[in-house]
């Protein structure tokens, strides 16, 4: 099942010392953390808190695949806008396209696949229908 949200969600964040290497440039793996924060805030903006989902329904979202392209470095104190856009959704997983920008400049982009799993067994589980309803255009 494929769908695409018309306007991507965007989450702003500041680059801190802890995000950078010795040269003051964002360490490449930290873009995954930035993308994770944006996905968490995206779900929250839709009315779904991940801890509540885990506690009440024993469900969690886990990353099953990533494919990132690094285009330009972010640096200490930069303000970044990190977007989330659904590109595909199924019953137990979704593919998301994410970008990190400094103003108009694209710094990093990639496809992230997330799956819904039972929090104890880590077996794939259906994404709750209220979430699926919200991520459809």
Cα–Cα distance for residue pair 107/31, rounded to 1 Å: 10
Q: CB-based burial of residue 84 (10 Å sphere; 0-12 exposed, 13-18 middle, 19+ buried)? A: buried
Q: Is 21 assigned a catalytic role? A: yes
Cα–Cα distance for residue pair 106/82, rounded to 1 Å: 10
Catalytic site residue from 21, 78, 81, 133:
21
- Positions marked catalytic: 21
């Amino acid at each position: 099942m494929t769908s695409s949200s018309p306007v991507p969600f965007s989450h702003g964040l500041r680059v801190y010392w802890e995000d950078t290497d010795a040269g003051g440039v964002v360490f490449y793996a930290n873009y995954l953390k930035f993308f994770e924060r944006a996905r968490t805030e995206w779900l929250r903006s839709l009315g779904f808190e991940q801890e509540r989902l885990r506690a009440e329904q024993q469900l969690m979202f886990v990353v099953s695949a990533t494919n990132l392209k690094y285009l330009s470095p972010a640096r200490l104190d930069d303000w970044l806008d990190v977007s989330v856009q659904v590109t595909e959704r199924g019953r137990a997983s979704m593919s998301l396209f994410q970008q990190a920008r400094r103003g108009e400049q694209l710094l990093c982009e990639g496809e992230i696949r997330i799956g819904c799993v039972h929090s104890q067994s880590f077996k794939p589980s259906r994404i709750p229908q209220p979430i699926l309803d919200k991520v459809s255009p």
